[in-house]
Amino acid sequence: MKIHSDDDLQQLTAQAAQSLLKKQWSLSVAESCTGGWVAKCCTDLAGSSAWFERGFVTYSNQAKQDMLGVDTETLNIDGAVSEQTVIAMAQGALQNSNANISVSISGIAGPDGGSDEKPIGTVWLAWATEKSAKAELHHFSGNRDAVRRQAVAAALKGIIKIARA
C-alpha cells in the first residue's frame, strides 16, 4: 500500500495539468467519498483556471440525482458505490459543465459503512469524455485518510493516462 503524501498529490496534479493543457482540455470532477479533495488538489495549483472547469461534491444520493442526473433506480439497485453509479456521475459531470473530461469517485472510506460485499476501502472511479466512459474498482487499505488519498491519486493517474492517449 502506497500512502500518497501531499507532495505526491501535488506532483500528480501538475502532471495532470500539463497533460490537459497540451490537449487543450478542461476537467470537471464529481466526488463523493473524497469530499472535493481532487478539486482542492487542482485548485491548489496556480493557473488551474486554464484547465479546471468545476467540481461537484455529491456526498448524498440526493445530490448525485439533483446535480449529476444519476437515476434513482441505479442508486437503488446498484448502490452509490458501484460501476453504474460512477459512470453516471462522470457522464453527469460532463453534461453539466463545459469540460472535455471528467472523473468521478464513490467509495467506502471508513471507519464505518463497509459490508461483506463492499468492505471499507472499496472505491469505484470513472473517467468520461464525449467519446467514452470507463470505470475501475479499487480496494484500498489503511485508515480513512489513507483510502481517500489513494482514491485521489488514482483519479489523477487516470486523468493523466487518458489525456496522454
Q: Give the whole-angstrom CA distance, residue 130 versus residue 90.
A: 11
Residue 74, in any domain of the structure:
yes
Q: Give the whole-angstrom CA distance, residue 79 versus residue 74.
A: 7
Residue 94, in any domain of the structure:
yes
CATH number of the domain where residue 132 is located:
3.90.950.20
Residue 82, in any domain of the structure:
yes
Omega into 111 within 30° of 0, i.e. cis? yes
Three-class DSSP category at 135 = strand
pLDDT per position as a tens digit, 69-82: 999 999 999 999 99
At 10, the amino acid letter reads Q
Segments in the chain below pLDDT 50: none
Q: At what angle do helices 37-44 and 6-23 cross, to 10 degrees?
A: 70
Q: What backbone torsions phi and psi does residue 153 show, to the nearest 5 degrees?
A: -60, -45
Q: Cell for 33?
A: 467519498
Residue 100, in any domain of the structure:
yes
Residue 40, in any domain of the structure:
yes
Q: pTM above 0.95?
A: yes
Identify the pLDDT of residue 1: 64
Identify the pLDDT of residue 3: 78
Residue 2, in any domain of the structure:
no
Residue 18, in any domain of the structure:
no
Structural domain tally of the chain? Answer: 1
Give 49's DSSP letter: G
Q: Give the whole-angstrom CA distance, residue 134 versus residue 130.
A: 12
Residue 64, in any domain of the structure:
yes
Instruction: Write down the H helix ranges in the chain.
Output: 6-23, 37-44, 61-68, 72-78, 83-95, 144-164
Q: Cell for 35?
A: 469530499
Residue 126's domain comprises 30-164
Residues 25, 51 contacting (CB under 8 angstroms): yes
Residues 54, 47 contacting (CB under 8 angstroms): no
